[in-house]
Amino acid sequence: MRLAIVASVLALVLAVLPAHAQEGRQSKGQTVYVPVYSHIWHGNLDSKQKPQMLLLSSMLSIRNTDPNAAMVVRSVRYYDTAGQLLREYFPQGVTLGPMASTDLFLEHKDDKGGTGANFLVEWNAEKPISEPIVETVNAYFFGPQALAFTSPGRPIAPSGK
């Protein structure tokens, strides 16, 4: 029952949030901050004043939305709540052709990131292209209980490459 309430509240919050994709925006590259939730707190506080913890799996999705040009994902860095680098992906870069995508997966049992974990995604292109969609899908699916929500990325800087 509690999980259903959490899911309902999250669905309501996500429904009223403004869309982060900006139609028609173009760029030659960006650094994108993407929230990740390896776990969330929920329920009531216990005798030690701690809420219950629900572990989530997370999938980072990077989607080239340009139908005519490629983009290069230069790096993806995964940080924990304290801002410590946990992992780096694509150190040699990966090219996404027009309308192509790639993803990374964090297992349900991987709780190292914490509630404030994040990815920094750096990408660039040879010419301005339509901005990619960069987001995480955070999920919990066990038995009859299910919870899933997205966390949109937000550009924080133009790409330096």
User: Per-residue pLDDT tens for 14-41?
Assistant: 544 444 445 678 999 999 999 999 888 8
pLDDT digits (tens, 9 = 90+) for 38-65: 888 888 989 999 998 899 999 999 999 9
Q: Indicate the pTM of the whole model.
A: 0.82
Bridge partners of 124, per DSSP, are 29, 72
pLDDT score at 79: 98
Quote the CA–CA distance of 117 and 56 in Å, as a whole number. 12
C-alpha of 112 from chain center: 15
How many structural domains comprise the chain? 1
CATH of the domain at 147: 2.60.290.11
Listed in order, strand segments (DSSP E) in 43-84 are: 52-55, 57-63, 71-79
SS3 47: coil
Q: Which domain holds residue 92?
A: 2-158
For residue 160, name the pLDDT band (cuts at 50, 70, 90): low
